[in-house]
Amino acid sequence: MIGGHYTYAEVPLFDTIKELFDQSRNNYDKVGHFAQGFVPAIVCREIIIRLQLIDSKFFTHFFTVCFCLAFSAFYELIEWWVALLTGDSAEAFLSTQGYIWDTQSDMAWALSGAIVALTLLSSVHDKQIKHLPISQHSQP
């Protein structure tokens, strides 16, 4: 909601951080893209485990990361399409702030978010799923 109120490129706290660390841009959007990988990672993992779609822990994590990257890439495509449709206001909407690698950086932040979520939360998630009644985490 903060980014929507100020636009991502103008969030005051990140303007202050930009000045303190002599950065070239307001990086608030990177927090959003990190969350764009972090949040769906456990949701995706939950669906895979509960529906028993993948039997391997490695491939569960691999697919989860791939899903989060695909979600991020699709979001970047939507941003591009909206920018094409809005014309002059595209720079404000995209919040690239002159950074030519913004799209790739956004997807890297989503990748990082997914990996951090899986690294920090997988064991806790496994314990929670293990304590569910058997009918809630297996297919009928």
Taking the alpha carbons at both ends of the chain, their separation in whole angstroms is 40
Predicted confidence at residue 25, as pLDDT, reads 65
Predicted confidence at residue 115, as pLDDT, reads 98
Question: Would the pLDDT of 140 be above 50?
Answer: no
| Three-class SS state of 11 | coil
**Angstrom distance (rounded) from CA 33 to CA 104:** 11
Q: What is the dihedral of CA 95, 97, 99, 100, to 10 degrees?
A: 70
Predicted confidence at residue 44, as pLDDT, reads 97
**Angstrom distance (rounded) from CA 47 to CA 73:** 21
Token representation of residue 75: 């979001």
- Helix then strand then coil, in percent of the chain rounded to 5, is 80, 0, 20
Give the pLDDT confidence of 2-28 residue by residue, as tens digits.
545 555 556 565 556 556 656 566 667
**Angstrom distance (rounded) from CA 73 to CA 56:** 25
pLDDT band at 92 (very low <50, low <70, confident <90, very high): low
